[in-house]
Chain A
Amino acid sequence: MAIWTKIITLFRGAAHEAGTAVVDANAMRILDQEVRDAQNALLRSRDDLAKIMAQRKIANDKLNDKKAKQAEYSNYIREALARDNRALAQEVATKLATIEADIATEGKIIGEFDNSIAKLQSSARQAETVITRLKQQIDTVKATESVQRAQAALAAQHAGTGAKLGTALDSLERIKQRQTERAAQLEVAEELAQATGEDADLQRRLAQAGIVPGESSAESILARFESPAPKALNHDGTPQLSQPGVASKTS
C-alpha cells in the first residue's frame, strides 16, 4: 500500500468522530504498529543478510583454500612430469580434477550468495526508505495534532480570561473595520474635493457675471488703465495699482 494511502486512512476515521480529533486514534495505533512490524521485519532481514554474508565468507575461504591447493597440485604435476614420473603426475592430476570440480561448485555457490546479498541489500534499503518516509509523515501528523490541541487549549485559556480571542474571524472583523474606515476616509476626501470643486465653479460663475473680481488678465489691467482715473485718490493723480502679496511699506 502506498504511504499516502495509509496516511489518508488516518483522516477517514477521524471524519466520523465528533470534536477536535485530527486523526482516527485507532487507525494511528494500527499504523504505529505497522511501522514497528516493518522495523522488526527489516531487522530480521538484516540478520538474514548478515548470516548469508557469513556463509559467503566461509564459502569464499574454502574456495581460496581450494585455489591454493590447485596451485600446489599443479606445481606437483609439473615437477613429477619434469622428473618423468608420469604415474605420480597421474595420481596428483586425479586429485586436482576433484579440486577443480569443487572450485567450480564453490564459485557457483558464491555467485548465488552474491545475488541473494544484492537482493536483500536492495530490499532492505527500499524498506528502510519506506519506513523513514512513513515515520516522517506520522510524526508530522502527530505534530499537527499537537498544534491542534495547543490551539484549542490557548483559545479556551483566552476565553477563560475574557481576553480577545485571536481567531480568524476576529482578524477578519478588524480587517473589515479597517477597510470600512478607509472607505469612509476616501468618501469624505471625495466629498471635500467635490465641495471645493463646486465652490470653485460658483466663484468662476460669479467672476464671469462681474459680481466678484476675477483673475487679473492683461486685458483687465489695460481696461483699468484706460478707464477714467478716480479723482482725489492720490496726490499725484496716478492710478493706484494693487500689488497682491506685497506688503505696503508705511513710513
Chain B
Amino acid sequence: MASRRRLTQLIKASVPLLKRQILVDAVDVVPVAGEVPVIEIAFPGSERLPIYVTDAGSQLLCISYLWRDDEVKPRLRAKLMETLLDLNPSVPLSSFGRIGEHFVLVGALSPAASAADMALELATLGDNGRDALATLAEFLI
C-alpha cells in the first residue's frame, strides 16, 4: 500500500524543478497526518491553488480544489457541467471531477513516476487551476 516516506521524498526532489518551471521562490510542502499519506503543496503569495498529493497504491493523485457546489450559479449549473465535459479532453494532464461537494482538477501519475514527472504534473495542474478559475468565473456566484 501507500508509502508516506516514498511520496515525501518524491515531492521534495520535485520541488526545485517545480520552482524553476513556474518561476516562484516559495513552495510550501506540508505532510498531513492520517492513515493515507497526503501532502499539501502550497504557493504562498501566488494565485496558484494548493495541490494535494496522495498515494492511492496503484496511482499517485494530485488534486486541486476549485469551487463548491453551492458556489455555482444554479441556473448555469447544467451549462457548467457541459463546459467541463467539453473542456476535459483539451485540458493538459488534468481532468475535472468532483470530490464530495467540491469541484476539483485531478491529475494522476504512475507510482513509478520520477521527480521530473511530478514537477511537470504540479506545474501543469497549477496552470490549469488558475486558467479554470479565470475562465469559468462567470458560472460562479
Interface of A is mostly: helix
Of A147, A148, A154, which is within 8 A of B30 by CB? Answer: A154
Inter-chain contact B54/A148, CB cutoff 8 Å: no
A175 CA to B140 CA, complexed, in Å = 14
A145 to B104, alpha carbons, bound, how many Å?
Answer: 13
Known interface pairs A147-B61, A147-B99; A171-B49 also in contact (CB < 8 Å): yes
Binary per-residue interface labels of chain B (45-58) against chain A in the complex, 1 for a CB within 8 Å, 0 otherwise: 00111101011111
Interface string of A147-158 (1 = CB under 8 A from B): 111110110000
Interface size bracket, B side = 35 or more
State the CA gap A166–B1 with chains docked (Å): 30
How close is B126's CB to chain A, nearest CB, in angstroms?
A: 10
Q: A144 to B95: give the CA distance in the assembly, Å.
A: 14
Report the bound CA distance from A150 to B41 in whole Å: 12
B67 touches A143 (CB 8 A): no
| Bound complex: CA A149 to CA B137 (Å) | 26
- The interface size of chain A toward B, counting residues with CB under 8 Å, comes to 30
Q: Of B49, B61, B66, B100, which is within 8 A of A143 by CB?
A: B61
Q: Which of A35-71 contact B (CB under 8 A)?
A: none
A-chain residues with CB within 8 Å of residue B56 when the two chains form the complex: 136, 139-140, 142-144
Is the C-beta of A28 less than 8 angstroms from some C-beta in chain B? no
A172 interface hit (Cβ, 8 Å): yes
Q: What per-residue 1/0 map shows which CB atoms of A168-196 lie under 8 Å from chain B?
A: 11011011101100000000000000000
Partner of B102, one of A139, A148, A154, A178: A148
**What A residues does B113 contact at CB under 8 A?**
none
With a cutoff of 8 Å between Cβ atoms, the chain B residues found around residue A21 in the complex are 100
Point out the residues of chain A lying under 8 angstroms from B63, CB to CB. Answer: 144, 147
Q: Which of B32, B58, B130 contacts A139 (CB 8 A)?
A: B58
> Are B58 and A168 in contact (CB-based, < 8 A)?
no
Q: Does A146 interact with chain B (Cβ within 8 Å)?
A: yes
Return chain A residues, CB-CB under 8 Å to B140. Answer: 169, 172
On whether the beta carbons of B47 and A168 are closer than 8 Å, the reply is no
List, in ascending order, chain B residues with CB within 8 A of A94's CB. Answer: none
Would A143 and B55 count as touching, CB distance under 8 A? yes
Q: Is the CB of A14 closer than 8 A to any CB of chain B?
A: yes
Interface check A220, CB cutoff 8 A = no
Does the CB pair A150–B34 fall under 8 Å? Answer: yes
Which residue of the partner chain A has the closest CB to B66? A168
B34 touches A146 (CB 8 A): yes
Q: With both chains docked as a complex, state the minimum distance between the C-beta of B113 and any C-beta of chain A, in angstroms.
A: 15
- Assess whether B57 is in contact with A139, with CB atoms less than 8 Å apart: yes
Shortest Cβ gap from B81 to chain A (Å)? 15
Given A136-B58, A167-B65, A168-B67, A148–B99 Cβ distance below 8 Å?
yes
A22 interface hit (Cβ, 8 Å): yes
Closest 5 CB pairs of A and B: A143-B56, A146-B36, A150-B32, A150-B38, A136-B58
Which B residues are closer than 8 A to A by beta carbons?
Answer: 1-2, 30, 32, 34-36, 38, 40, 42, 47-50, 52, 54-59, 61, 63, 65-67, 71, 99-102, 129-130, 133-134, 137, 140
Residues of A bordering B, CB below 8 Å: 14, 20-22, 136, 139-140, 142-151, 153-154, 166-169, 171-172, 174-176, 178-179
